[in-house]
Structure 1
Amino acid sequence: MFERTTYIQRREALSKQVSNGLLIIPGNGDNPGNYTDNIQPFRQDSSFLYFFGIDLPDLVGIIDLDTGETTLFGDDPSLDAIVWTGPLPSLAEQADRVGVTRTAPLGDIASVLRQARQAGRTLHLPPQYRAQNRIRLSEWIGISLAELDNLTSPSACKAIIDIRAVKSAAEIANIEQVLSITKEMHLIAMRMAQPGATEQAIVGAMEGYAWSHGCRQSYAPILSKRGEVLHNHYHHNTLRAGDLLLNDSGAESPMHYASDITRTIPVGGRFDERQRAIYQTVLNAQLAAIDALKPGVPYLQVYELAAGILVDGLKQFGLFKGDTDEIIRTGAFALIFPHGLGHLMGLDVHDMEALNEDWVGYGEGYERSRDFGRKSLRLARPVRAGWVVTIEPGIYFIPALIDRWRAEGRFTHLIDYAAFDAFRNFGGIRIEDDVLITDTGSRVLGDPIPRTIEEVEAATQR
């Protein structure tokens, strides 16, 4: 938890950007796994964490935008609960730690919300991604689940996004602290990436390291020699010499700040000549993208810069032909780069996307494309100082996608499908780092993690 004043200042800043009515910020509750008492590890809602800082279930914060008064709704721990959990702070103690002076039982929230609605006051609510919270809110307010969506407040969401997007020095320090754990996870994977090793053993070793240092994963790890499968959570392959192992994984700090790093590893410690060339192309794209970042530069522009470098690098193999600008403009490049360049990162690994991905990543003057590949770009608008973004270009050879486009005759004047036949079993390469936008440019966060060909090969060899 940060200093008490941090949460007071954050709520004050939010109140200045949203006017009239009640702003409701629900925390999360416990979530059952396979039965009621076997709960999944608790994860607090990130906006609740940001403005209220309390990492315990069944709490709701309400800011009265007309009076400036903030109330924390929850319940003191019962004796029955204490028997199972041990001593817990009272609701008043929790509230005091984050500068809230008014508390009320959770059972009072229904009357407060219904009275406000009957009085014609506006209820501002972020979108609810958990069914449990949707059901509770609809019951408290006395409306249907369908009607609940009408209370999603664009003004509140955009204000939350604006405030949360710019990271304080303390937040950056938290991210860099957890990146030290993530670095060791990736070094473990590099050392273990030997012929005969299993993907599952590597995933287990990384996760065990994170847990042993007080962290958990900020998302389900993507570790596979089938790197062309973008979100591959299948970990049952055995590694062989010559394989490429893609490792996209990151730890989450005890305060729930994320990290998100990808490295691609040559199993056994050596890239072959073709792997080296394509790896270097991806690295060139990443380095150029990072170098291009500075306040006011549209992320869309950086994405297209990286895509052009990827295309030019593959021309040496005859995979693309013709004008690179046309390949980018038409979207033909998405055959090998079907995702975006990255996303904002903070308390969420894809920061604030639960609030509305387009409000986070787009905005005035930027409209999301519907084209394959380009539609997956999560961030397009100009970047600002204090933002943390990921930069993660990649090259992938996806047989099903190649076959579909080939059968449809797509972009045949720009793509040599016959040349792609030699790459059907290549897999994929992605390189990703977490980058802070500074006042004058950008800075890769955390201690360096092996990234060049020479560094990765050295870290992989025993």
Structure 2
Amino acid sequence: MFDKSTYINRRSALKAKGLKGIGLFLGNGESPMNYSDNTYHYRQDSSFLYFFGLNFPGLIGVVDFDSGEDFIFGDDVDIADIIWMGPQVALQENAAKSGIKNTAPFNRVFDLVKKAKADGRTIHFLPPYRGENKLLLEKLLGISALTINTHASLAFIKAVISIREIKELQELEEIKKACVTGYNMHVTAMKMAQAGTWEQKIAGTIEGVALAGGGMPSFPIILSQNGETLHNHDHSQLLKEGKLMLCDAGAESLLHYASDFTRTTPVGGKFTQKQREIYEIVLAANNTATSLTKPGVSYLSVHLAAAEVMASGLKDLGLMKGDVKEAVAAGAHAMFFPHGLGHMMGLDVHDMEDLGQIYVGYDDEIQPIEQFGTAYLRLGKRLKPGFVITNEPGCYFIPALIDKWQSQGINKDFINFDKVNEYRDFGGIRLEDDILVTETGSEIIGERVPINPDEVEEIVQKG
């Protein structure tokens, strides 16, 4: 945990947002793998962590916006728990670490909510993403678990986002720690990118690097020589000479702050001419995006600028044609770059997206563009100092998408399909960095994971 003043100040900032009534923060319970006593590695809810800091199951936090009081509801352990878990800190002592004096057994939260309802007070809650918390809210509020998310408080959601989106200095230090582990994960993967190596061996090894760093992977590892599948979690193949290994992976710090990097490595340590040409285009798009990232600039505009760099490079290779700006406006680049440039990052690798991605990434001024490819951009609004974001352009040759566009004549004025079909077995390249928006511009967080193609080749060749 951070110092208790951190959590007191965060809750005070929330109370200053002008909400009335009470706000519920549901902590996460244990999640069984296959039976109740055999659970997945525990992960607390991120908003609960942010405002209360307590990293164990069976808790509900309550903020009373009218009285200014804060509460923690949970149960102390009994002797059976102590036998299996060892001595445990009392709830009241744990709550004090978060600057909270008001504690009560878990079931007493029903009394508090019942009285608030009887008094006609507003009960705010964030959209639950776990089934057990949906059922708990159903019992607390009398709203069907099937529709509970539609009743989440939009004012509460926006208030939480407005506070969490600006990262404190101590949060940045945690993200840097996660980035150090992420760096080690990716360099390890590069060294292992040798012909005949089982993808799962590499994925499992770098997952171990994350665990050895004190946290765990910040999301399920993406690692494949079929990088044209954007989120490829199939690690079943043996790497082949001449293929590209795409690795998208990150780690959590001890306090659960995330890193998220992607690198694409030539198996055996030597890019072919085609591979290096496409790699250089993606790298140019990445570097351009970083140079354009600064306060007041919309990330939508940065995304489109990166898309223009991509389209220009592909035109130089004969894969695209026509006016570059017209091609991007028409969405022709999206056959090669069918996703967004990046997303928020912090306590979650896709920070706060459980609260609603549209509220995290967009606002009243800037709304999503409903065009294939750009529609997947998760962050489009204007950037502010203290935002931590990802920058991850990519170029992919997806046979099914090529066939669809070619057969339907989609963007035929901007795509040279005869040339594109020469790349059908290419795979994909994605290059991703974690970026801090500063007062005057932006900076890559921590030491940059090796990205220069010569350096990447050298790392693989040395093994």
Q: CA deviation at 1:146?
A: 4.4
Letter of the structure 2 residue corresponding to residue 42 of structure 1: Y
d(CA) in 2 for partners of 1:200, 1:145: 38
Aligned to 1:230: 230
After TM superposition, list the pairs within 5 Å mapping 1:155-174 onto structure 2: 155-174=155-174
Aligned to 2:417: 417
1:305-351 per-residue CA deviation (whole Å, 9 max, x = no partner) reads: 00000111111221111111111111111100000000000000000
Aligned to 1:37: 37
d(CA) in 2 for partners of 1:433, 1:461: 23
Task: Answer yes or no: is 1:206 the counterpart of 2:206.
Answer: yes
After TM superposition, list the pairs within 5 Å mapping 1:156-305 onto structure 2: 156-305=156-305
Aligned to 1:3: 3
Aligned to 1:92: 92
Q: CA deviation at 1:215?
A: 2.1
Describe the SS at the equivalent of 1:145. Answer: coil
d(CA) in 1 for partners of 2:203, 2:149: 39
- C-alpha change, 1:310 and 1:150, in structure 2 (3 Å) is closer
d(CA) in 2 for partners of 1:89, 1:332: 59
d(CA) in 2 for partners of 1:70, 1:86: 29
d(CA) in 1 for partners of 2:176, 2:68: 34
Letter of the structure 1 residue corresponding to residue 235 of structure 2: H
8 A Cα contact 1:22 1:121, kept in partner? yes
Q: Give runs of ≥4 in structure 1 deviating > 4 Å.
A: none
d(CA) in 2 for partners of 1:288, 1:165: 24
Letter of the structure 1 residue corresponding to residue 51 of structure 2: F
d(CA) in 2 for partners of 1:249, 1:130: 24
Aligned to 1:456: 456
Kindly report the root-mean-square deviation, in angstroms, between the aligned alpha carbons of the 2 structures: 1.0
Letter of the structure 2 residue corresponding to residue 19 of structure 1: L
8 A Cα contact 1:111 1:140, kept in partner? no
Aligned to 1:339: 339
Q: Which moved more, 1:113-122 or 1:138-147?
A: 138-147
Task: Answer yes or no: is 1:125 the counterpart of 2:125.
Answer: yes
Q: Which moved more, 1:146-155 or 1:169-178?
A: 146-155
Describe the SS at the equivalent of 1:435. Answer: strand
d(CA) in 1 for partners of 2:309, 2:183: 27
Task: Answer yes or no: is 1:437 the counterpart of 2:446.
Answer: no
1:252-303 per-residue CA deviation (whole Å, 9 max, x = no partner) reads: 1110000000000011111111111110000000001001011000000000
Describe the SS at the equivalent of 1:83. Answer: helix
d(CA) in 2 for partners of 1:202, 1:15: 47
Letter of the structure 1 residue corresponding to residue 138 of structure 2: S
Give unpaired runs (5+ residues) of structure 1.
none
Give the TM-score normalised by the residue count of structure 1.
0.98
d(CA) in 2 for partners of 1:130, 1:380: 27
Q: CA deviation at 1:238?
A: 0.6
Aligned to 1:403: 403
Q: CA deviation at 1:220?
A: 0.4
8 A Cα contact 2:213 2:253, kept in partner? no
d(CA) in 2 for partners of 1:234, 1:189: 16
Aligned to 2:362: 362
Q: CA deviation at 1:371?
A: 1.8
8 A Cα contact 1:127 1:354, kept in partner? yes
Letter of the structure 1 residue corresponding to residue 336 of structure 2: I
Q: CA deviation at 1:154?
A: 0.9
Q: CA deviation at 1:143?
A: 3.0
Letter of the structure 1 residue corresponding to residue 34 of structure 2: N
8 A Cα contact 1:18 1:156, kept in partner? no
Letter of the structure 1 residue corresponding to residue 419 of structure 2: A
- Count of residue pairs the alignment pairs up: 462
8 A Cα contact 1:18 1:155, kept in partner? no
d(CA) in 1 for partners of 2:446, 2:394: 21
Aligned to 1:328: 328
Task: Answer yes or no: is 1:24 the counterpart of 2:24.
Answer: yes
1:71-130 per-residue CA deviation (whole Å, 9 max, x = no partner) reads: 101111111111111111111011000100101111111121122112211011111111
8 A Cα contact 1:44 1:55, kept in partner? yes
1:12-46 per-residue CA deviation (whole Å, 9 max, x = no partner) reads: 00111142100111110001111111111110000
**Percent identity, aligned pairs only?**
46
Q: Which moved more, 1:224-233 or 1:358-367?
A: 358-367
Task: Answer yes or no: is 1:376 the counterpart of 2:376.
Answer: yes
d(CA) in 2 for partners of 1:112, 1:103: 12
Q: CA deviation at 1:446?
A: 1.1
Describe the SS at the equivalent of 1:106. Answer: coil
Q: CA deviation at 1:369?
A: 2.4
Aligned to 2:71: 71
Letter of the structure 2 residue corresponding to residue 76 of structure 1: D
1:386-412 per-residue CA deviation (whole Å, 9 max, x = no partner) reads: 010000000000000110111111111
Describe the SS at the equivalent of 2:383. Answer: coil
Letter of the structure 2 residue corresponding to residue 77 of structure 1: V
8 A Cα contact 1:393 1:430, kept in partner? yes
Q: CA deviation at 1:447?
A: 1.3
Give the TM-score normalised by the residue count of structure 2.
0.98
